[in-house]
Structure 1
Amino acid sequence: MRWTTLYARSRQLPAAFAALVVATAVLWFVARDSWSPLPVMLTLTAGIAVAAIGLSGQDPDLDRTAALPWPVRRLGHLTLIGLTACGAVLAIQELGTPIVDLSIILRDTAGLLGLAGLAATLAGGQFGWTLPLLWAAITPFVQNDGSTTSHIVGWMLQPPSTPTATWTALVLGATGATAYTAWGGRR
């Protein structure tokens, strides 16, 4: 159990969990009467972004030389972030707020995790928050004109029956998870 404690501390998991809970509570309080895909997207983005900061340790070179199978731990870490953020949103929905379709929550979680994994792989774990936050900042301003481009760029706010949005999230999720699992955070 000692390695898990050290891993959690080196990845700032206790602080990330606390920030995720606070961000989720604040966003729910602000949007409790108008719970819709937009506040869900913001809550998932905030949860994944605060936890994605720990996608690499203090010394990436030390991580690469460890005798542990890092790809399994990287995938587990990314999955844990997604489960925690998704679980926080689902827990909020149990408080009686209007229900947002589960497929939207899962789709957004998968895509945002992929973006976090890509950002960590390309720029380093401390910048894992950048791509999810950037895409979430752009999405509300995309005009939904029914075009394929608007469905791709605005995938987080599309209805659950939009195949282009679902495929965009799945491709982002698979690409980001694969890149981060295989290579880890950039040095």
Structure 2
Amino acid sequence: MTALLLFLRSREVPGGTLCAVSAMVAVAWLGAGQTGSRHAVTAAALALALGVAVLGHGLGGPDSTPDTTAAIRWAPRRALHLAAICVLAATVVTVVTSVPAGVVLRDAAGFTGLAALAATLFGRRLAWTLPVVTGCVSAGIPAVPEPFALHLLTWVGQPPGSSAALTTAAIFTLTGVAGYVIRGPRRIS
């Protein structure tokens, strides 16, 4: 148990979780409206983006050297950490908002993959970038079926039955998770 507590403290998880949950509840609650309305879906997406961005800060420690030199297997810990971020974000937003759980879970998985990808490419300090940019783009551009490029760009706000949105979220999730679990966060010198 001590190893888990040390891991959580080194990743600043307790403080990050408190801030992320508070922010997700506030944003999702302020945007809650009719079930499936565009406003509610946008607010849920922004809440997820914000929560995953805050929790993504814990995808690496203050010193990135132990992540690559320690004599422990990091892959299971990294995978569990990503799963915990996704489940926590999806649970909080699902409880607060009226958006269908399938949309929330799809978006939470996609945002978690984007945060993992950003941590792998840019380091833990910039793990927030890809989820926040994607959330803001989806909030600013209405989710429309045509043209197809715009449909993919606004995958977060697409309705539950959108196979393109599900495929886009799955690609971001698998790419980000694979990169982060295998390589870990980028070492910052």
By the TM > 0.5 criterion, same fold?
A: yes
Other-structure match for 1:122: 121
Please tell me the residue identity of whatever aligns with 1:135.
Answer: T
Asked if 2 retains the 8 angstrom alpha-carbon contact of 1:55 and 1:126, the reply is no
Q: 1:79 to 1:141 in 2, by over 3 A?
A: same
Asked if 1 retains the 8 angstrom alpha-carbon contact of 2:31 and 2:43, the reply is yes
Cα deviation code 1:72-121 (max 9, x no counterpart): 1011111111111111012214xxxxx21121111101110110011000
Other-structure match for 1:78: 82
Other-structure match for 2:44: 40
Give me the identity figure in percent: 34
2:153 equivalent to 1:153: yes
Other-structure match for 1:50: 54
Q: Which aligned pairs between 1:3-42 and structure 2 lie closer than 5 A?
A: 3-33=3-33, 36-42=40-46
Other-structure match for 2:182: 182
Cα deviation code 1:48-91 (max 9, x no counterpart): 01000110111111121111110110111111111111110122
Q: Which runs of 5+ in 2 are unaligned?
A: none
Quote the RMSD (CA, aligned, Å): 1.4
Please tell me the residue identity of whatever aligns with 1:9.
Answer: R
Please tell me the residue identity of whatever aligns with 1:14.
Answer: P
Other-structure match for 1:109: 108
Asked if 1 retains the 8 angstrom alpha-carbon contact of 2:113 and 2:176, the reply is yes
**2-side partners of 1:79 and 1:145: how far apart?**
30
Q: 1:145 to 1:164 in 2, by over 3 A?
A: closer
Please tell me the residue identity of whatever aligns with 2:13.
Answer: L
Q: Which aligned pairs between 1:157-176 and structure 2 lie closer than 5 A?
A: 157-176=157-176
**2-side partners of 1:37 and 1:135: how far apart?**
14
Q: Secondary structure at the match of 1:73?
A: helix
Asked if 1 retains the 8 angstrom alpha-carbon contact of 2:53 and 2:128, the reply is yes
**2-side partners of 1:171 and 1:32: how far apart?**
28
**2-side partners of 1:63 and 1:2: how far apart?**
18
Q: Secondary structure at the match of 1:14?
A: helix
Asked if 2 retains the 8 angstrom alpha-carbon contact of 1:123 and 1:186, the reply is yes
TM-score by length of 2: 0.91
Q: Which aligned pairs between 1:85-96 and structure 2 lie closer than 5 A?
A: 85-93=89-97
How many correspondences in the alignment?
182
Q: Secondary structure at the match of 1:146?
A: coil
Q: Which runs of 5+ in 1 are unaligned?
A: 94-98
Q: Secondary structure at the match of 2:59?
A: coil
